[in-house]
A and B are shown apart, each in its own frame.
Chain A
Amino acid sequence: MAPEQRRRLLERLPPDRRQRLEERLERYNTLPPEERQRLQQQLERFRSLPPERQQAARNLFRQFMSLPEDRRQVLREGFQRLRALAPAERLAWLESEEVKKRYSSAERRILEEYIELLPAGDREQGTHPQVSPLPAEDPSDEDQADG
């Protein structure tokens, strides 16, 4: 967005909304150019998905963001793991004892929805194809896992 265009847009807003949007735009603009380009490409691909799939992803994100940061970090590791697995292996991993120990039932539902949102043929490049142990469990995590 051109600075002049941004200025015109922002000056119409109430101060608090304007400040929040300015901060978000500033954070975005401080990202490295290649990261911005990557995100723009991802956004374009995401916006080309069917609307209900887009909405499901947003709903999942809302659930994710409602968790405390330490649990979000544990879930991120789960997301990363799921992306590394072949589609056929994902549900099996989700049903594994290690997952039941590490994640609460609500978190497992988030992981399950995450599987549904992952492209069927998607598998992250450069990561291990087989199931490998999760990082060592933090004992404090078990307090929040109910399985």
Chain B
Amino acid sequence: MPCPFQEAEGAELLLAYCARRLDADTSRWLERHVELCPECRAVAEQQKAVWQALDSWDALPVSEDFDVRLRGRIGRLADPPWPALSSLWRRYRVPLAAASILIGALLLIRSPGAVEPTAGLAGTPEVESVEAALDDIEMLRALELMASAGPRRAESL
């Protein structure tokens, strides 16, 4: 079976694997593949993180007096802006955050060509290419390797 990354249904297959929805045989195959394929492994790890986040949210116990305390807190807020949204946000912030990560992971899977190694510093490749050009120019001035005119004393750039 080819790498899911190379297949149109690959994203769904990987998502199903991470969500533990695959049958045992396919799951075993994909598990072996993920061990060998860095791209699939990266996606699977991200997906697992998403599912772990969701799992941990599910596992969080809700205290018995949660509703009482929540109503009390709402009551203490004087004219809260956007009360409905505020309540919704408190209730669903963890799954919303997890869903955001999930959407990000989906986008990552669906456009693997767009994935580029992230530089530690934004713009570093540009800077490095400028610095490399300056290094080469300094070298060419010193060595006059490509010169057809008379030599000149090299100065550092």
Contacts and interface: CB of A to CB of B under 8 A. Distances in A.
B122 A83 contact: no
How large, as a class, is the contact surface on chain A?
Answer: 35 or more
Contact of B140 (A17, A24, A46): A46
A76 interface: yes
Contacts of B131: 21, 24
Interface string A44-63: 01110000000001101100
8 pairs of A and B residues whose beta carbons are closest in the complex:
A42-B146, A61-B139, A12-B123, A80-B151, A42-B140, A45-B146, A24-B157, A24-B134
Contacts, number: 92
9 contacts: A12-B121, A21-B130, A47-B136, A60-B143, A61-B142, A61-B143, A65-B142, A114-B143, A117-B143
A106 interface: no
Contact of B151 (A12, A58, A79): A79
Interface size of B as a range: 20 to 34
A42 B144 CA distance: 9
Q: Is the interface of A mostly helix, strand, loop or mixed?
A: helix
Contacts of B155: 27
B99 to A, nearest CB: 32
B85 interface: no
B133 interface: yes
Contacts of B146: 42, 45-46
Nearest to A27: B157
Nearest to B122: A12
Interface stretch (A97-105, A118-126, A139-147): A118-126
Interface string B143-157: 111111111011111
A1 B130 CA distance: 10
Interface in A1-55: 1, 8-9, 12-14, 17, 21, 24-25, 27-28, 38-39, 42-43, 45-47
B126 interface: yes
A46 to B, nearest CB: 5
A93 interface: no
Contact of A125 (B133, B143, B148, B157): B148
A127 B150 contact: yes
A27 B141 CA distance: 13
